[in-house]
Chains A and B, each alone.
Chain A
Amino acid sequence: GAVVSQHPSWVICKSGTSVKIECRSLDFQATTMFWYRQFPKQSLMLMATSNEGSKATYEQGVEKDKFLINHASLTLSTLTVTSAHPEDSSFYICSARDGGGIGNQPQHFGDGTRLSIL
């Protein structure tokens, strides 16, 4: 089956540091990847849609300069949390869909990254 690898799984860093999270589709090409944020006991909140070779589309209320997204290849998207602060601490999950974004193809999720900012 389709596998999405997300790295790192857990990161702890000091306030003011920038943190990069990688999302890779291992056995399929993903023209579109998605980045979610999840607070404890809550649902997934879509942050942005990452399109290969073009700028990401951010959801309302998500700071583009805070959460930089790059989708340079068909198998890799990165999310960089710039100048992270304690309020950025959360669980971040990426997903990717094979089949060129056709609706009936399910999204395959990475295992998530737990980000803790001290």
Chain B
Amino acid sequence: AQTVTQSQPEMSVQEAETVTLSCTYDTSESDYYLFWYKQPPSRQMILVIRQEAYKQQNATENRFSVNFQKAAKSFSLKISDSQLGDAAMYFCAVIIQGAQKLVFGQGTRLTINP
């Protein structure tokens, strides 16, 4: 079975600075996909970024980028130039190729200080 661990229950950062949220996972499979979802106070789940395990290049989406270390089973999210609207719960998740279930981490609550 797959597991996802987010070791930082809470993080805070000053507006305009950079913050990194950590995520580690465990799976015996070699073909899988990783995601970061954002859940703001409205509680809507929003896809932030995704990464295919077979790709060595780290995914980027504007101010969001990941540091994917497959051997270490690590998938951290870096948010550059933090904005007040980035304040939310962030969930890391993994799904195995061919599987249906998305496995979530415990979440990290990110606070942006003005």
Contacts and interface: CB of A to CB of B under 8 A. Distances in A.
Nearest to A44: B104
A68 interface: no
A107 interface: yes
A95 interface: yes
Given A43-B91, A43-B104, A43-B105, A103 B43 contact: no
Nearest to B91: A43
Interface string A55-77: 00000000000000000000000
Given A43-B105, A43-B107, A104 B45 contact: no
Interface in B62-114: 91, 95-102, 104-107, 109
Contacts of A106: 35, 47, 50
Interface residues of A, number: 22
Interface string A66-90: 0000000000000000000000000
A91 interface: yes
Contacts of B102: 34, 46, 95, 107
B84 to A, nearest CB: 21
A34 B56 CA distance: 30
A104 B52 contact: yes
B96 A103 contact: yes
A101 B100 contact: yes
B33 A49 contact: no
A92 to B, nearest CB: 11
B42 interface: yes
Contact of B43 (A49, A91, A104): A91
A49 B100 contact: yes
A103 B104 contact: no
A104 B33 contact: yes
Nearest to A49: B100
Interface of A: 32, 34, 38, 41-44, 46, 49, 91, 93, 95, 97, 101, 103-104, 106-109, 111-112
14 contacts: A32-B100, A42-B106, A43-B104, A43-B105, A43-B106, A46-B102, A103-B32, A103-B33, A103-B95, A104-B33, A106-B47, A106-B50, A107-B102, A109-B46
